[in-house]
Every structure is written in C-alpha cells, then in structure tokens.
Amino acid sequence: MLDAGVVVKELQQMRDEGHLSDALLRKAVRSLKSADDRYDWVGVYLVGEGEELWLHNYIGEPTEHAKIPFGTGVCGRAIAERRNLNIRDVSKEENYLACTPETQSELVILIRAGDEIYGQIDIDSDQMSAFTEDDEIALIGIADKLAEQLAAERR
C-alpha cells in the first residue's frame, strides 16, 4: 500500500540535499511503481513545446506515446480540461491511447502549483476500477511536492 507521507518526506529530503526536479520525478515514479501491485505502469509527462505532453520517465511496458498533444487521449484531456481524471474502465473511453491491451483503468493526476500546470503523473492498472479516492489524495500530495520543486526552478 502506498504511504504518500513517506514518499513526500523522501522527496523533500532530496530537495534539502540539493537535488533538482529530474531526480525527484524519477524517484517519485520508482516509489509509486514499487508501492502497489495495482500500479502496472507509472510515468510522468511534462508539458513540452507546442501544446504537447512529453514523457519524462516511466516504469512498465514501453509505450509509443512519448509525445501526446493536448486534448488527445486521457492524458491530453486531463491537461486540456485542467483536471485530474480517474478512468474506471478505459474500454468505455472514445478518446483513449492504449499503452498495452492489458490496461483496464487509468489515473491521471496533474502536477500543478496554483494556475501553473507542469505535467502529470499517469498510472495504468490491469485491474478494472483500480483507483480509489485514497489513491487520488495520495497522488495529489506527491504531485504537489513535485510541483513545488518545478516552480522553484522556474522562478
């Protein structure tokens, strides 16, 4: 089970030691992937150029979706609509980009600080309706810590 408090503490410790967002984003993905069996694919997309999301790092099956235009797929929709998305059954989504045929549900949590959106944490599960409100709350805490570092670097 994911203990978001521990992950947030580890990320803050890395910040205190002088690590930058690249290291924190990789650490977050590693921590999430190993925290829960339901998290079959875990990745971070960052806002790139030309209204596109660019895949920063991931653990799981290789994906052909390294670049996703805003509005396309679940990831692109989350950023276009500026909100988190918990998709309980991806087969019911018309606007969906499959990573693997095994994926049943998907959770996208934005990495944001105030009005600024830096990217998102994307998690796929091979289980139907895998993600609960507890997952969402935990992931928001971790995403907020990542946003803190990204905001500090953009100042």
User: Minimum Å distance from CB 12 to ligand SME?
Assistant: 27
Interaction residues for ligand SME, span 74-113 (CB under 6 A): 74-76, 96-97, 99, 106
In the complex, residue closest to ligand SME by CB: 73
9-48 mask for ligand SME (x: CB under 6 A)? --------------------------------x-x-----
Kindly list the distances between the CA atom of residue 59 and the CA atoms of 15, 33, 39, 62, in Å, as whole numbers in the listed order: 22, 7, 10, 8
**Residue 44 token pair:** 């971070």
The C-alpha atoms of residue 75 and residue 136 are separated, in whole angstroms, by 15
Residue 123 interacts with ligand SME (CB under 6 A)? no
For residues 97, 59, 85, 115, the Cα torsion angle rounded to the nearest 10 degrees is -110
Select 8 or 55, whichever has its Cβ closest to ligand SME. Answer: 55
Q: Comparing C-alpha atoms, which of 99, 86, 24, 95 is closest to residue 60?
A: 99
Among 27, 73, 112, 123, contact with ligand SME (rule: CB under 6 A): 73
How many other β-carbons are positioned within 10 Å of the β-carbon of residue 33?
A: 17
Among 124, 130, 143, 145, contact with ligand SME (rule: CB under 6 A): 124
